[in-house]
Amino acid sequence: MTCRDILNLKKIKIFSRLAYDSVKDIYKIIFYAVISFGSSIKNVTEEVLDQLQSQMQTMFPEYGGCLTLKIVGVKSKHVAERDIEVKREYEPAR
């Protein structure tokens, strides 16, 4: 199952990198995304991070997390580069 399957997204391409910080007892995931032209960056980032946080808290309730979504481009005929980073940190669901 891919991240796209979990999020049920059609207008966004996502790639990710995962790291675990044993000192703070949290995991850190960085997602890189290219979104379609006309999509609201605010709505896309909010929806993606909400769904990812929900899935991660369900799978790993004992750990906190730091999710970072980096919008690296907007695709129309060509990909226009962007450098937008949205970060969300949360505590364990204990």
Give the pLDDT score at 50.
Answer: 92
Give 40-74 pLDDT, tens digit per residue.
889 888 988 999 899 888 888 888 888 999 988 88
DSSP state of 93: -
Helix (H, G, I), strand (E, B) or coil at 71: strand
- DSSP H helices, 1-94, are 3-7, 41-59
Give the number of C-alpha atoms closer than 13 A to the C-alpha of residue 32, restricted to the C-beta side: 9
Residue 89 — pLDDT band, cuts 50, 70, 90? very high
Torsion of CA 50, 46, 85, 89, to 10 degrees: -40
Residue 77 — pLDDT band, cuts 50, 70, 90? confident
pTM score, two decimals? 0.75
Give the pLDDT score at 35.
Answer: 87
